[in-house]
Amino acid sequence: MNKITPTSTPGEARCPAQSTQDIIAKDKVGAPDWVRSESYEYMGSEDIPTERYIDPAYAKAEYERLWTRTWQFACREEHIPEVGDYHVYDLGPYSFIITRVGENDIRAYFNACLHRGTKLRASNTEGRASEFQCSFHGWSWNIDGTNKSITCPWDFPHVDAAKLNLPEARVETLGGFVWINMDKDAPTLAEYLGPEALAHMTAWKLENRYIALHVQKRIPANWKLTIEAFQEAYHVIITHPQVAVSNADANSQYDVYGEHVDRFISPLGVLSPHLEGKYNEQDILDQFTVGDAGVLEGNRLEVGNSTARQVMADMFRGMFEKSANTDLSDVSDSEMLDCFSYTIFPNTFLFPGISLPMVYRFRPDPKDHRGCIYEVMFLRPAPKDGERPTPAEPIILEQDQSFKEAEGMDPGFGAILDQDTDNLFLQQEGLEASAKHGLTLGNYQEIRIRHFEKAVDKYLAMPPKKP
């Protein structure tokens, strides 16, 4: 593990252990091309300047330049299944009423009355509406955004009600997610993702999932610092030593796709290269900790002549086929088992795999650039027949609460989330205390962070754009 592969080209070195692709190549049920391919790109080795995480002026510039131009995950379609259903999505100072106006027509209204500006619906609310009436003087709008009434219209001869539509952000749906963009000139979501990443998103069929558990917590660290804590497996051996026995960490694979999407594949059911020679296959199986370890209860198996990884894949397939009443024989072992994570710039972080099905969302704390709102949503497969389950209500944790305290959270996974987030205030404070004014990144394992910050740079180089 400590030998260094000689290389003259930066970005070419890899962990000398077997690669993610070597591991996946040995699986019984083979993986599709988009799993069996790599898309790493070297993007330089310069430090990332610290000010972006600690300077409030930077956060202000992000609100004016970045958040007003990018595609954001606002809610899931199952939050608004019926015509008239709405869900308020807030991002910093911005707020939108995401409303279903027709079976295939979802709108995102800027959440402000066109009289004297009152929010038409309070933040963090949802419900079903036949109109949006302002609570101040009663001006009201139909759910299609056209004006319904102005109180005392005789006093507003200068206002043309026929033109008084609620302003809208753009809306697209993909994978069961509702995405919004405040920029009328932005590329389409498909263009924004690029063809390769779009193909991945489509292949995961996330429209067939629903939110089974939703936990939200304010983290005392900048939103970018927080999302970047999840973009590499480099920290696993130190931050989560309990999972390293069954997790390929240093040999995880990192990919970038265009400007807005990146991913890693972290194979599970194999030993960390850091622990080579210290554990056998049975140990790996015995210590297997996956995000949702609850499914393993009562399922201890012997490795026998197989590998821990194969035993795990077979077992997961059997369990998920049974619980979802479905046939997963053509789903590869890798998709079944491994930790796939994707960033969709800027606020979405997907774990679409079957053993660890989640989406995280990261939004800046509107009142404090040193804080962010972090959400964890478990995306379970919706049953094939019958009613689609309603999405879980968010459980909002206090800053000093453990993720383990959220009802329905697997305690082992709650502990992992605590480990991830407990480092963050130390990092935020350390960056502010540091005499070194940049963050140094590994060329390979931390490429997603560099890729993410490059996208930040791209938007911040643009002029401010008012929605």
Residues that bind ligand FES (CB under 6 A): 113, 115-118, 134, 136-139
The smaller minimum CB distance to Fe ion, of residues 220 and 467, is found at 220
Residue 420 lies near Fe ion (rule: CB under 5 A): yes
The smaller minimum CB distance to ligand FES, of residues 125 and 434, is found at 125
First to last CA, the chain: 51
Residue 140 beta carbon to ligand FES: minimum distance, rounded to whole angstroms: 8
The contact pattern for Fe ion, residues 374-413, with x = CB under 5 A and - = no contact, is ----------------------------------------
Q: Rounded distance, CA 185 to CA 173, Å?
A: 18
Size of the site for Fe ion (CB under 5 A): 1
Residue 466 beta carbon to ligand FES: minimum distance, rounded to whole angstroms: 21
Q: Rounded distance, CA 214 to CA 218, Å?
A: 14
34 contact, one of ligand FES, Fe ion, none, CB 5-8 Å limit per kind = none
420 contact, one of Fe ion, ligand FES, none, CB 5-8 Å limit per kind = Fe ion
Residue 232 lies near Fe ion (rule: CB under 5 A): no
116 contact, one of ligand FES, Fe ion, none, CB 5-8 Å limit per kind = ligand FES
H-run or E-run covering 198: helix 195-203
143 contact, one of Fe ion, ligand FES, none, CB 5-8 Å limit per kind = none
Residue 374 beta carbon to Fe ion: minimum distance, rounded to whole angstroms: 13
Amino acid at 334: S
139 contact, one of Fe ion, ligand FES, none, CB 5-8 Å limit per kind = ligand FES
Binding segment for Fe ion among 40-48, 256-264, 414-422, 447-455 (CB under 5 A)?
Answer: 414-422
Residue 135 beta carbon to ligand FES: minimum distance, rounded to whole angstroms: 7
Residue 230 beta carbon to Fe ion: minimum distance, rounded to whole angstroms: 6
Residue 131 beta carbon to ligand FES: minimum distance, rounded to whole angstroms: 13
Which pairs from 376-379 meet CB under 8 Å and 24+ separation?
376/213, 376/214, 376/215, 376/216, 376/403, 376/417, 377/76, 377/211, 377/213, 377/214, 377/215, 378/211, 378/212, 378/213, 378/214, 378/292, 379/206, 379/209, 379/210, 379/211, 379/212, 379/352
DSSP codes of every residue in 206-262: GGGEEEEEEEEEEESS-HHHHHHTTS-STTHHHH-HHHHTTB--TT-EEEEETTTEE
Residue 249 lies near Fe ion (rule: CB under 5 A): no
Residue 370 beta carbon to Fe ion: minimum distance, rounded to whole angstroms: 21
Q: Rounded distance, CA 97 to CA 84, Å?
A: 11
The smaller minimum CB distance to Fe ion, of residues 195 and 241, is found at 241
- The residue length of the chain stands at 467
The smaller minimum CB distance to Fe ion, of residues 126 and 420, is found at 420
The CA-atom distances, in angstroms, between 373 and each of 84, 141, 157, 226, 421 are: 27, 31, 44, 9, 12
Residues 6+ apart with CB under 8 A from 378: 211, 212, 213, 214, 292, 357, 358, 392
Q: Rounded distance, CA 457 to CA 450, Å?
A: 10
The smaller minimum CB distance to ligand FES, of residues 166 and 382, is found at 166
The smaller minimum CB distance to ligand FES, of residues 24 and 113, is found at 113
The smaller minimum CB distance to Fe ion, of residues 24 and 233, is found at 233
Residue 136 beta carbon to ligand FES: minimum distance, rounded to whole angstroms: 4
Binding segment for Fe ion among 79-87, 101-109, 362-370, 417-425 (CB under 5 A)?
Answer: 417-425
H-run or E-run covering 192: helix 189-193
The smaller minimum CB distance to ligand FES, of residues 119 and 451, is found at 119
Residue 283 beta carbon to Fe ion: minimum distance, rounded to whole angstroms: 22
Within 13 Å and on the Cβ side, how many CA atoms surround 102? 4
Residue 100 beta carbon to ligand FES: minimum distance, rounded to whole angstroms: 23
Question: Closest Cα to residue 413, out of 291, 273, 307, 322?
Answer: 291
The smaller minimum CB distance to Fe ion, of residues 332 and 421, is found at 421
For the chain, how are helix, strand and coil distributed in percent, rounded to 5?
30, 25, 45
Residue 228 lies near Fe ion (rule: CB under 5 A): no
Question: Closest Cα to residue 67, out of 362, 446, 377?
Answer: 362
Residue 255 lies near Fe ion (rule: CB under 5 A): no
The smaller minimum CB distance to ligand FES, of residues 115 and 404, is found at 115
Residue 142 beta carbon to ligand FES: minimum distance, rounded to whole angstroms: 15
Site for Fe ion in 123-182 (CB under 5 A): none
Tokens of 13: 């070195």
* Phi/psi at 374 (5° precision): -110, 130
The smaller minimum CB distance to ligand FES, of residues 117 and 298, is found at 117
76 and 178 Cβ atoms separated by less than 8 Å = yes
Place of tokens 């019958």: 386
The residues of the shown chain that bind Fe ion, judged by CB under 5 A, are: 420
